[in-house]
């Protein structure tokens, strides 16, 4: 659980920085007096930031679901299960 919290904290710090860089690059490429290649780089950077954010959330969700199923499996016991009758 601690590793997941560190992951979410890292994603919440890194993604806005990359997103801001991407937005600035896109705006400079669109409205600035530079090459049009900057627009594509800005769009790619924005998409990268969104991808990193979604992967971080996916990893955290997966970790919580695995932890939840492990806890439920440890609570369930097989002591009350009736074995099949042998013929």
With vertex at residue 6, the alpha carbon angle to CA 9 and CA 15, rounded to the nearest 5 degrees, is 35
Coil, helix or strand at residue 33: coil
Q: Which residue has the tokens 């679901």?
A: 65
Does the pTM of the predicted model rise above 0.75? Answer: no
Give the residue among 49, 48, 29 at the shortest CA–CA distance from 39. Answer: 29
pLDDT tens track, the chain, 87 positions: 566 688 888 899 999 999 999 999 999 999 988 888 999 999 999 999 999 999 999 988 888 888 887 776 655 555 666 667 666
Report residue 82: phi and psi, to 5°. Answer: -90, 125
């Amino acid at each position: 659980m601690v590793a997941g919290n560190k992951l979410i904290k890292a994603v919440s710090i890194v993604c806005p920085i990359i997103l801001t860089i991407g937005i600035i690059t896109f705006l400079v490429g669109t409205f600035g007096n530079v090459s049009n290649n900057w627009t594509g780089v800005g769009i790619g950077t924005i998409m990268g930031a969104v991808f990193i954010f979604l992967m971080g959330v996916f990893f955290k969700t997966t970790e919580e679901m695995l932890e939840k199923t492990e806890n439920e499996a440890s609570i369930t016991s097989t002591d009350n299960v009736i074995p099949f009758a042998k013929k």
